[in-house]
Amino acid sequence: MGYSKEIYDSVRQKLYEMKMTSLEKLEKRKKLFFARFPEASDIEKKIALTAIDSAKAVLVGNDAKKELKLLRERSILLRNRLSEILKSVNLPEDYLELKYNCEKCRDEGFVDGVMCGCMRDMMKKESYIKLNSMSPLELSSFETFSLDYYSENAESNQQSPKERMKLIFDFCKKYSDNFSKKSPNLIMMGNTGLGKTHLSLAIASEIIGKGYGVIYVSAPNMVTKLEKEKFQNYSHNSEESEKHFINCDLLIIDDLGTEYANTFSNSAIYNIINSRIMMTKPTIISTNLTMKELEKNYSPRMVSRVIGNNIRLEFLGFDIRQRRLRESLKH
């Protein structure tokens, strides 16, 4: 998968900062340890000099084999003595060595010219962070969701809004608790201000906390991003965002139906949703549109794919944001 120069540079900078942090920690450990055990400091200096002498012996070439053998034996003795000191205070043998976050590439990002898996993972996460940057992921949680604003009055034979929302809340909580890369797709339907965004954000927050790659994006922002990359050379890789939308562990599309509708937007949204269905990757969609409005706004093919492959959660009630505002004004 291609990544923009911005993402690449950001990850390279983070790798550099990680290595610098590791070096700083090592220097602090050494300073404290050598202050307590001056002999250890002297041994480390002698080990370094032994390495230098070994290099000189190879370059000079005068009976190098014999001299190298003596130097190796000396180095072993020095290292054994250093191990004894560390063991005497119950410290691991590698206490005075640099600790890398990735031992394979030593925090360089590459192994023999090939990008390390750790750097690939960082690039993916950095891309998700960038794509999520305009979403209020930190603003909603299951703990802050309240059923108090939903009416207990039922119309005809329906459940009351409060009863329905209790079932939906429990379903969403269980969905996030048991989430896997093969979890089912969801579509949250209902009027504005009923908690669809709150619950989808709460799911996103919980699943990100488990280490999954989640992208939360409103339909308008998603279309704008794709349009810029497609037609304005906005990115060094014109399909970067589209690939992330398709390949992330969970994609949450908020406010489907509020994007500016045209041939491109409809095709782009269908392609992403359909690709994820084909790859059995879970997608959560929220929309204020009714079934009739969905059928009017989108092609029968897209509506069929969405409705036929998503568990439908139909929200009931009146705009709780207005009720919450009225309650706050009373106090």
Does 24 reside within a domain? Answer: yes
Does 122 reside within a domain? Answer: no
pLDDT at 274: 94
87: which DSSP letter? H
Residue 286 DSSP SS3: strand
Domain ends where: 113, 144, 167? 113
pLDDT per residue of the chain (331 residues) written in tens, 0 to 9: 456 677 788 899 999 999 999 999 999 999 999 999 999 899 888 888 887 777 776 666 656 677 777 778 888 898 899 999 999 999 998 898 898 899 899 999 999 888 898 998 888 888 777 767 666 666 678 998 888 888 888 776 678 889 999 999 999 999 999 999 999 999 999 988 889 999 998 998 888 888 888 888 999 999 998 888 877 654 455 567 888 899 989 999 999 999 988 999 999 999 999 999 999 999 999 999 999 999 999 999 999 998 899 999 999 877 666 666 555 555 4
Close Cβ partners of 106 (under 8 Å, ≥ 6 residues apart): 100
Does 41 reside within a domain? Answer: yes
Domain ends where: 113, 143, 174? 113
pLDDT at 208: 84
Q: Are residues 43 and 158 in the same domain?
A: no
Q: Are residues 196 and 243 in the same domain?
A: yes
Q: Are residues 32 and 177 in the same domain?
A: no
Q: Are residues 169 and 94 in the same domain?
A: no
Q: Are residues 138 and 174 in the same domain?
A: yes
Residue type, 261: A
Domain ends where: 113, 143, 167? 113
Q: Are residues 104 and 145 in the same domain?
A: no
Model-level pTM greater than 0.85? no
Does 230 reside within a domain? Answer: yes
Containing 256, the helix (H) or strand (E) segment is strand 250-256
Q: Are residues 167 and 253 in the same domain?
A: yes
Does 120 reside within a domain? Answer: no
Q: Are residues 149 and 263 in the same domain?
A: yes
pLDDT at 293: 93
pLDDT at 235: 47
Q: Are residues 96 and 154 in the same domain?
A: no
pLDDT at 126: 82
pLDDT at 256: 95
Q: Are residues 57 and 187 in the same domain?
A: no
Alpha-carbon Rg for the chain in angstroms:
29
Cα separation, 61 vs 123, whole angstroms: 47
CATH at 192 = 3.40.50.300
Residue 23 DSSP SS3: helix
Q: Are residues 288 and 203 in the same domain?
A: yes
Instruction: Give the tens place of pLDDT for each residue, 137-172.
Output: 666 789 988 888 888 887 766 788 899 999 999 999
Give me the number of domains the chain comprises: 2
pLDDT at 1: 47
pLDDT at 87: 92
Instruction: Give the tens place of pLDDT for each residue, 24-36.
Output: 999 999 999 999 9
Structure tokens at 89: 């205070």
Instruction: Give residue 294's domain range.
Output: 134-330
CA contacts within 13 A on the Cβ side of 295:
5
CA dist list (Å): 230 to 234, 241, 271: 8, 10, 14
Contact between residue 207 and residue 172 where contact means Cβ atoms under 8 Å apart: no
Does 273 reside within a domain? Answer: yes
Q: Are residues 47 and 161 in the same domain?
A: no
Close Cβ partners of 109 (under 8 Å, ≥ 6 residues apart): 11, 12, 15, 115, 116, 118, 119
